Amino acid sequence: MSNGCSCENPLVPRIVKVVDIIEETPDVKTFHVTTDEGIPFRVMPGQLAMVSMLPVGEGMFSVSWQAEDHLEFAIRRVGVLTDAMHEVWPGQQWGIRGPYGNGFPVEKCKGKNMLFVAGGIGLAPLRSFIKYCFLHRQDYGRIDILYGARSYADLCFKRELFEEWPAQPDTTVYTTIDRAEEGWNGHVGFVPTYLEEIGPQPSGTVAVICGPPIMIKLALKSMEKLGFEDEQVITTLEARMKCGIGKCGRCNIGSEFICLDGPVFDLAQLRRLPPEW
């Protein structure tokens, strides 16, 4: 699959400006970045970019959407770099290079029903694929989205989740939070359990899963119970992406480099790797 990159050298950072910031949850913000000439490079759903903020450092983040004129990154506050990123205001400049990773198999999934299963910030990479499916609605069958977080406050992309996506044709959005709380009338419970309750039909369906490692592991088991074949289940190990170019040696599983062959794999491919994922 072509990554659609229009930049000259993916190792050379482009200077981008933060043009908008959206508070998603108490610890997640979405940053819109662009250049005076438009988006710094084109990405496919599931690809990542190295974002740098001087003098703090740089980190690999999935692109949660490529809009017409900007890229979007939903970034959770987890350390020094992301703490600093959460303090920026529109107009500040970052460096960005990429894209990295193979991305989701958008072509191979054409004609299929799509089941997206996400937990927490794991919806960020899936969001790019979900929005891509809506943009090319005629190419995909039913779309079911199951998303969970610790609490209502921790659910990302609320406007899309509760307003825009449920209004799409042949689409159902299921949301759940881990523990009951006042004012929440929706489902309560963990994502894998809810997945089994919903009981999606495997026939003609591709499932795409992303979230915390434990959620992914349990959701993969649930998919097996529900009768999904390994080839019908896709996940991304994007959290392992560090340098993205096979140099740092921090992403390998056995002899495989996640950054060079992934981070998107189907379950059949994952089962051929040592069981460290």
Q: Given the complex with ligand FES, which of 11 and 248 has the nearer CB atom?
A: 248
Q: Given the complex with ligand FES, which of 195 and 273 has the nearer CB atom?
A: 273
| Amino acid identity for residue 229 in this structure | E
Q: Which two tokens stand for residue 237?
A: 């190990």
Q: What is the DSSP letter of 179?
A: S
Kindly state whether residue 58 participates in binding ligand FES, applying the rule CB under 6 A. Answer: no
Kindly state whether residue 277 participates in binding ligand FES, applying the rule CB under 6 A. Answer: no
| Amino acid identity for residue 227 in this structure | G
Kindly state whether residue 81 participates in binding ligand FES, applying the rule CB under 6 A. Answer: no
Kindly state whether residue 257 participates in binding ligand FES, applying the rule CB under 6 A. Answer: yes
**Smallest distance from the beta carbon of 113 to ligand FES, in angstroms?**
33
- Between residue 187 and residue 246, which ones bind ligand FES under the rule CB under 6 A? 241-244, 246
**Dihedral sign for Cα atoms in the order 60, 190, 45, 26:** negative
Count of residues that interact with ligand FES, criterion CB under 6 A:
13
Kindly state whether residue 21 participates in binding ligand FES, applying the rule CB under 6 A. Answer: no
Kindly state whether residue 249 participates in binding ligand FES, applying the rule CB under 6 A. Answer: yes
* Half-sphere exposure for 33 (CA within 13 Å, toward CB): 31
**Smallest distance from the beta carbon of 268 to ligand FES, in angstroms?**
22
| Pairs from 151-156 (Cβ < 8 Å, separation ≥ 24) | 151/177, 151/178, 151/179, 151/181, 152/177, 152/181, 152/183, 152/184, 153/25, 153/26, 154/25, 154/26, 154/120, 155/25, 156/24, 156/25, 156/28, 156/74, 156/120, 156/121, 156/123, 156/124
Q: Given the complex with ligand FES, which of 21 and 245 has the nearer CB atom?
A: 245
Closest CA to 127 of 188, 66, 189, 213: 66
Instruction: List Cβ neighbours of 11 (8 Å cut-off, separation of 6 or more).
Output: 97, 245
**Which range, of 63-71, 80-88, 107-115, 247-255, touches ligand FES by CB under 6 A?**
247-255
**Smallest distance from the beta carbon of 242 to ligand FES, in angstroms?**
4
Kindly state whether residue 247 participates in binding ligand FES, applying the rule CB under 6 A. Answer: yes
| Amino acid identity for residue 156 in this structure | C
**Smallest distance from the beta carbon of 84 to ligand FES, in angstroms?**
22
Q: Which is it for strands 256-257 and 252-253: parallel, antiparallel or unpaired?
A: antiparallel
Kindly state whether residue 259 participates in binding ligand FES, applying the rule CB under 6 A. Answer: yes
- Considering only 67, 78, 153, 248, the residue that binds ligand FES (CB under 6 A) is 248
Q: Given the complex with ligand FES, which of 119 and 244 has the nearer CB atom?
A: 244
The residues binding ligand FES (CB under 6 A) are: 241-244, 246-251, 257-259
